[in-house]
Amino acid sequence: MYVPRYKEKYDKEVIPALKEQFGFKSVMRVPKITKICLNQGLGKFGIADKKLVDVGVQEMTLISGQKAVPTKSKKDISNFKLRRGMPIGVRVTLRGDKMYEFLDRLVSVSIPRIRDFKGIS
């Protein structure tokens, strides 16, 4: 069975290093990532156009590799012409192997390009 690259690196390199550095006696005391939550608010455009929510769901599904869920408003806000139950965003919660795969893609592909683009060293 395939084990994600970052999960394998965490198990073989990071856990022993953290145990040694902080003096943990048990592996269970070492911190770990449990989930990654992604969300996207659609703003005032999501209220006006219902198809924009579907586009947001498709985008988040492509980015995360897992089906996204539309979020709905919890209360009425008259200044924004928002009613309870109207779709206002999209969210995804990643856990397990999908989480590590997403983290690997984020760190190795997306973040280095952002750093190079902005001229951050």
Query: Residue 90 burial by CB count (10 A; 0-12/13-18/19+): exposed, middle or buried?
Result: buried
In which element (H, E) is residue 105 found? helix 96-105
Q: How far is CA 91 from the centre of its chain?
A: 9
Q: What is the CA radius of gyration of the chain?
A: 19
Average pLDDT over the chain reads 82
Nearest to 97, CA basis, from 22, 11, 20 = 11
CA pair distance 35, 37, nearest whole angstrom: 6
Q: Average pLDDT for residues 47-67, to the nearest whole number? A: 84
CA pair distance 50, 33, nearest whole angstrom: 35
Say if residue 95's pLDDT is above 80: yes
Higher pLDDT, 56 or 73: 56
Q: How confident is the model at residue 76 (pLDDT cuts 50, 70, 90)?
A: low
CA pair distance 34, 73, nearest whole angstrom: 27
Nearest to 106, CA basis, from 10, 17, 36 = 36
Say if residue 120's pLDDT is above 70: no
